[in-house]
Amino acid sequence: MKYTYIFSILIIQILFSCSPNQENENNESLAHVETTKDQHTRANIEEIRTTHLHLELDINFENKTIYGVARHQMSENNIDHAIFDIKGLEIIKTTVGEKEETATDFTISKEDELLGSALTVKIEPGTQFINIYYQTTENSEALDWLPAELTEGKVHPYLYTQGQAILTRSWIPLQDSPMNRITYSADITVPSELIAVMSADNPTEKNAEGEYHFMMKQKIPSYLIALAVGDLVYTSLGENCGIYSEKELADACAYEFGDLPKMISAAEGLYGEYLWDQYDIVMLPYSFPFGGMENPRLTFANPTILAGDRSSTSVIAHELAHSWSGNLVTNATWDDFWLNEGFTVYFENRIMEEIYGKETADVLATIEYQDLTASIKDIENGDFPEDTRLKLELNERNPDEGMTDIAYVKGAFFLRTLENTVGRKKMDVFLNQYFLDHAFQSITTEVFVEDLKTKLLEPTNIDFNIDEWIYQAGLPENHIKIDSKKLAKMIAIAEKANAGKDIFLNDFKGAKRNDFITQEWLTFFRTLSPEVSIKTMEKLDKQFLFSSESNAIIKSDWFKLSAQTHYRAQNVEMQKYLIKIGRRWLIEGIYQILMDSKETVDHDFARETFELAKDGYHFVSRSTIEEVVK
Ligand code: BES
Ligand code: ZN
């Protein structure tokens, strides 16, 4: 039954799969449009699509409001209305026309809590230009307006946007679906002490007028439109790469990302030319809800990756890899999210292996595997056990719920296992071709599966359990096993401690925190039993200063262990951490363990901390943690 279903989808996909390479011109026709439905948009993209978007925006920090107009150039059409997604926006008026504009009617549907509203604009069939005048509101969830106190410099405010997955509609009225790809341009006005940067071609210096012009000439999905405004300086790191940061962080950034030019060459060596010209990073404030976000030409990054020892550079390898997997070849719907993230984690690891060697790559993959097994357990015990499938079904659910280790790590292990089966050489030839064939396209899982069968497995006569990996729950038995000697050593020490032996006598005698790399500590903490004594926790903290001085990655796991073992002596440090850092993957688990505790003091502590911290979090983290502490 399921087979027939998948098969018929496949046939439809093959017949209708779009090839936007040929639909690059404005005023294109939608005659060949895909039949796949994106459940997370209200826009009528099967009838009319934006091809180019021009933004004219005034960024007002006093009112924490963006005032502007979104000018949409539309595809050839024969329809009397165009529907756009909006959420938390105030629409002022709509017009049609390019040089001369005529007002036209619009209606706004009732707001859906998840998707927002449908903004329907009345048009004459064939209309080419639709202009939407609007302003953002305090419910514009993509926007994080930071007061000066929450920046490094503490003098100027900061603003950044986070579009993925469906938040772009909360700062720009548009067809917010990854199935549609558009070019965009923008005229942005900001206070003259600040500079604006976007996922486009960027200025490297401020100008006295505070007026900046941007162009993204390649077609991208709407979730990749991004803006950051702050008191930033630019540090070049190579011919086509560099970093924007507050001046206080410029040196730390230059050191931490010193290997960026090498990473770009390694990535190009693996999967073909970098097609976006420039690769820059902008260092955002600590509230940024992710480690990194792959906005094209300009990765957005969280300062927690400034570990001081380049131990978090894999995050940059990851965001860079998205320049191929995700930005060049994009998931058509959020059910296909693993196409973005699974490929990227695989690719990230290949970059890390090229630069730092197999041992480092294996250490990283082993940590991922630890995360994956824990996540599978959680998901299997949760409300949606079917979420351990790679291809998701997120109808009427927040696409954010697909952001689990399944897409990331099960996805990567699928590709690693495949590589192990067909051999690296054939795998790389296939992937190079995949990125070429689907460059600037948004594709479904089924298009990938068809490619895999016809271009890799059938020609080599290799059998592979694709269906089990993609459409069935859990982790298939044949997954590749990766282990690392370096981490095995830490497991052994932790197991000794679990067995009640004194690890301070020999193993850790005279040792310092920096004698071990971040991933060794993570493995050590994860192997320690939650029954480990408070005494041991105290001794560890005294010797290695985890609570007070370790990097943000180590602290996250250490505080989880602290919560599990009810080691509360350093709750002040834990609270400081949770107030300062808004990166969701680092803080969510700590709150969760505190709330899972049997003791109400832990719940009270979590809730009290959230109250103190929440105004400093971006909507993405605030809403997740709110659910946890509720
Ligand atoms: N694209 C993601 C972040 C994202 C996913 C935002 C879904 C919104 C919805 C980004 O590339 C990412 O995966 N970041 C990770 C990096 C890590 C896996 C190396 C992060 O933030 O930690
Ligand atoms: Zn990613």
Catalytic residue among 223, 234, 346, 408: 408
- For ligand 1, say whether the CB of 419 is within 6 Å of any of its atoms: no
Q: Which one of 319, 348, 354, 368 is the catalytic residue? A: 319
Residue 353, ligand 1, Cβ within 6 A:
no
Q: Which atom of ligand 1 is nearest to the CA of 291?
A: 21
485-629, what's its fold?
Answer: 1.25.40
Ligand 2: centre distance to CA 326 (Å): 8
Q: Is the CB of 163 under 6 A from ligand 1?
A: no
What residues pack around ion ligand 2 (CB closer than 5 A)? 341, 344
Both tokens of 445, joined, read 């899982």
d(CA 290, CA 590): 16
Q: Where are the domains of the chain?
A: 4-31+324-471, 48-309, 485-629
User: Is the CB–ligand 1 distance for residue 412 below 6 Å?
Assistant: no
Q: Is 563 helix (H, G, I), strand (E, B) or coil?
A: helix
For the record, the structure tokens of 197 come out as 């940067």
Residue 138, pLDDT score: 98
Specify the residue for token string 């180590």: 554
Atom of ligand 1 nearest to the CA of 314: 19
d(CA 179, CA 16): 13
Q: How many A from CA of 343 to the centre of ligand 2?
A: 9
Atom of ligand 1 nearest to the CA of 302: 21
For residue 202, count CB atoms less than 10 angstroms from its CB and return exposed for 0-12, middle for 13-18, buried for 19 or more.
buried
Question: Ligand 1 within 6 A of 411 CB?
Answer: no
- In the prediction, which pLDDT does 33 show? 59
Nearest-CA residue for ligand 1 atom 6 is 164
Cα–Cα dist 586/491, whole Å: 22
| Cα–ligand 2 centroid distance for 129 (angstroms) | 34
Q: What is the pLDDT of residue 7?
A: 46
One-character DSSP codes across 314-331? HHHHHHHHTTTBTTTEEE
Topology of the domain covering 4-31+324-471: Neutral Protease; domain 2 (1.10.390)
Q: Is 408 a catalytic residue?
A: yes
Backbone angles phi, psi at 214, to 5 degrees: -130, 150
Task: Tell me the CA–centroid distance for residue 474 and ligand 1, in Å.
Answer: 22
Q: What is d(CA 554, CA 129) in angstroms, rounded to the nearest whole number?
A: 52
Ligand 2 mean position to 296 CA, how many Å? 12
Q: How far apart are CA 476 and CA 106, in angstroms?
A: 51
- What are residue 317's phi and psi, to 5 degrees? -55, -40
d(CA 530, CA 547): 17
Contact 104, 94 (CB under 8 A): yes
Atom number of ligand 1 nearest to Cα 585: 22
Contacts 24+ apart (CB under 8 A), 526-529: 526/370, 526/557, 527/490, 527/491, 527/494, 527/495, 527/498, 528/494, 528/497, 528/498, 528/561, 529/498
Mean pLDDT, contiguous 10-residue spans, the chain (630 residues): 45 42 52 80 98 99 98 98 98 98 98 98 98 99 98 98 99 98 99 98 98 98 99 98 98 98 98 98 98 99 96 97 98 98 99 98 98 98 98 97 98 98 98 98 98 98 98 98 95 97 97 97 98 97 98 98 98 98 98 98 98 98 98
Which residues lie closer than 8 Å to 149 by C-beta, 6 or more apart?
A: none
DSSP class per residue in 379-404: HHTSS-GGGGSSS---TTS-GGGG-S
Instruction: Give the Å distance between the CA of 238 and the centre of ligand 2.
Output: 24
Q: What is the residue with the minimal CA distance to atom 19 of ligand 1?
A: 315
Ligand number nearest to the C-alpha of 301: 1
Please check whether residue 300 is in contact with residue 284, taking contact to mean a CB–CB distance below 8 angstroms: yes
pLDDT at 21: 40
- Contact (CB, 8 A) for 539 and 505: no
Structure tokens at 401: 């719920």
Q: Which of 64, 60, 228 is nearest to 145 (CA)?
A: 64
Other CB atoms within 10 A of residue 437 CB: 15
531 vs 527: CA distance, rounded Å = 11
- What is the best residue among 318, 322, 344 to mutate for testing ligand 1's pocket, by most ligand atoms within 8 Å of CB? 318
Nearest ligand to the CA atom of 299: 1
Mutate to test the pocket of ligand 1, among 199, 222, 223, 290 (most ligand atoms within 8 A of CB): 290
Q: How many Cβ atoms are within 10 Å of 128's Cβ, its own excluded?
A: 17
- Tokens at residue 162, please? 């986070």
**How long, in residues, is the chain?**
630
Q: Looking at the domain that runs over 48-309, which CATH code has it been given?
A: 2.60.40.1730
164 lines ligand 1 (CB under 6 A): yes
Task: Report CA(290)–ligand 1 centroid distance (Å).
Answer: 6
Cα angle 188, 194, 196; round to 5: 35
- Per-residue tokens: 59: 């960024």
pLDDT of residue 35: 74
Residues 7 and 3: their CA atoms lie apart, in Å, by 6
Q: How far apart are CA 518 and CA 532, in angstroms?
A: 21
Which atom from ligand 1 is nearest to the alpha carbon of 317? 19
Active site residue 567: no
**Centre of ligand 2 from the C-alpha of residue 377, in Å:** 22
